Amino acid sequence: MPDSDLARVAVLGFGTMGSGIAQVVAASGRDVVVLESEAEPLGRGTRSVEQMLDGGVRRGKLTEAERDSTLARIRGTTDVSALAGVDLVIEAVTERQDVKVDLLGAVADVVGDDAVLATNTSALSVTDIAAHLPRPERVAGLHFFNPAPVMRLVEVVRALQTEPDVVTRLVAFVEDLGKDPVEVKDRPGFLVNRLLMPYLNDVVAEYDDDLASAEDIDTALELGLGYRLGPLALLDLIGIDVHRHATQSAYDATLDPQFAPPPLLAQMVAAGYLGRKSGRGFRGKYEK
């Protein structure tokens, strides 16, 4: 049984991040209800979780019984009223503040006054999101990293309005998931992306100046600095459009030139070269 008091969990969105978060929460022994706008993305999300769990079984990371019990704890719905009574809501929809605020506002009308509302945003201000919601003191950031079932780090983000007990409860929740929480203030990019974004921007600019090939840049930083994945391969994994949106949001909030996305990023997004998910990125072509 879960040790944290946040035992009943809802996840908003069943895309890449939502499905990964739902899997992690269900694997901890919690029942999870996942809200989507239509049945079709619920089916896609379920298949994604099944594929991830099947891979774990093949690699000997979990048993078939553990896979089956994890799947059984995840329930999809298109009815927001099905979220009544949950202790924690984790929002993982598109990186647009208006979409997040509208959805979280609708959910806040259904869940109890004591429920915690957490956003998985990696680029938007949690303080701004909380300001548009009822009970902003119950709102915080809970930033999982992709892929959520694999990555151990979770940033617990304190908005200006967040009550201390909410942060304490979220830290305990993350630890109960078997993850490693780090408490951070609400700043553009939080901690990891605040440091990562300027670095990736510099790499893109140097690549655009023909300093070296994409392969050689990645090889140099993997072998020279001990990184497990080179920066351009990492951008292809993250999604070039995702990085551009995050850096643009950080730049708009701070006007700090280190966050300004290099022009090449906009060109690649316009061309549809988004990395692995589109089949083409900095490191060439990928099988879709």
Of 4, 120, 193, 278, which is the active-site residue?
193
CA dist 18 and 144 (Å) reads 10
User: Residue 69 catalytic?
Assistant: no
User: Residue 64 catalytic?
Assistant: no
- DSSP letter string, 158-199: E-TT--HHHHHHHHHHHHHTT-EEEEEE--TTTTHHHHHHHH
CB 124 within 8 A of CB 93: no
CA dist 43 and 155 (Å) reads 29
Q: Long-range CB contacts (< 8 A, 24+ apart) of 211-216?
A: 214/282, 214/283, 214/284, 215/283
User: Residue 213 catalytic?
Assistant: no
DSSP state of 258: G
What are the C-alpha distances in Å from 114 to residues 20, 111, 173? 25, 8, 15
> Which of 120, 103, 115 is CA-nearest to residue 36?
103
Tokens at residue 42, please?
């619920």
Tokens at residue 201, please?
């921007």
Of 4, 19, 122, 201, which is the active-site residue?
122
Of 28, 48, 120, 155, which is the active-site residue?
155
- Asked if the bond preceding 136 is cis, omega within 30° of 0, the reply is no
Of 48, 120, 143, 249, which is the active-site residue?
143
User: Residue 132 catalytic?
Assistant: no
Q: Which residues are catalytic?
A: 122, 143, 155, 193
